A = this chain, B = another copy of it.
Amino acid sequence: MTMLKGKDIILSLLYKDALTGYEIMERIQNRLGYFVEGSTGMIYPALKKLEKEGFITSEEIIQHDKPNKKRYTICENGRTSVQDYIESPISQDKFISDFLLRAYLETNPIKELVTHEIDQITKRLAKLIADNEAVIADMAAGQLFAYEFGKNMYQTQLNFLHRYLETEIRRSNPQDNL
């Protein structure tokens, strides 16, 4: 029943690699962007809290070509927490769509709405591919699966939306039906 929390997402990522806050944010927004969310306002405070609570440790990394950064490493406590998470009941997928709510409210054709949505999803799909295709060779089975899942979803959504537009055009131009 309990929803997926930032803590679980972050610790899960740190379970595999030691990462900086910036890297965590990138991964969440890019590679995992299809199915989780994360902003600086969530990630940095969460990291701080996780360190204070003894789930992770940090070390400063001095860089000369770029700003310094802090790398976080998971510790025993954190690994246990991830195990607990994995053994906990799986929470339901959640899909929130402002687009569909607006569509739902409309009595009239929703061409502009759909066109806008096609735009959005096209961009998101392109980003998903761009962010993942480069690392595809290094992906574990599950990562590849999640990526393919997301790609498939976006493509299906696009197909559905395009199909809608086509039937709309046919409806409004009946003379095309030869």
Contacts and interface: CB of A to CB of B under 8 A. Distances in A.
Interface of A: 3-4, 8-9, 12, 15-16, 32, 34-37, 86, 90-110, 113, 116-117, 120, 140-143, 145-146, 148-150, 152-153, 156-157, 160, 164
A107 B156 contact: no
Contacts of A15: 105
A108 B103 CA distance: 40
26 contacts: A3-B96, A12-B101, A32-B101, A36-B97, A37-B96, A86-B102, A86-B105, A90-B98, A90-B117, A93-B99, A94-B95, A94-B97, A95-B95, A101-B146, A103-B149, A104-B145, A104-B146, A105-B142, A106-B140, A106-B141, A106-B142, A107-B142, A108-B142, A109-B141, A149-B157, A153-B153
A94 B94 CA distance: 8
Contacts of A120: 90, 92-93
A105 B164 contact: no
With most chain B CB atoms within 10 A of its CB, the pick from A12, A96, A104, A160 is A104
Given A90-B116, A109-B141, 20 more contacts: A4-B98, A8-B101, A16-B105, A35-B97, A37-B94, A86-B102, A90-B99, A90-B120, A91-B98, A93-B99, A93-B120, A94-B97, A100-B149, A105-B142, A107-B140, A107-B142, A110-B142, A110-B145, A152-B156, A152-B160
Contact of A160 (B99, B149, B164): B149
Given A94-B96, A95-B93, A149-B160, A36 B101 contact: yes
Nearest to A91: B98
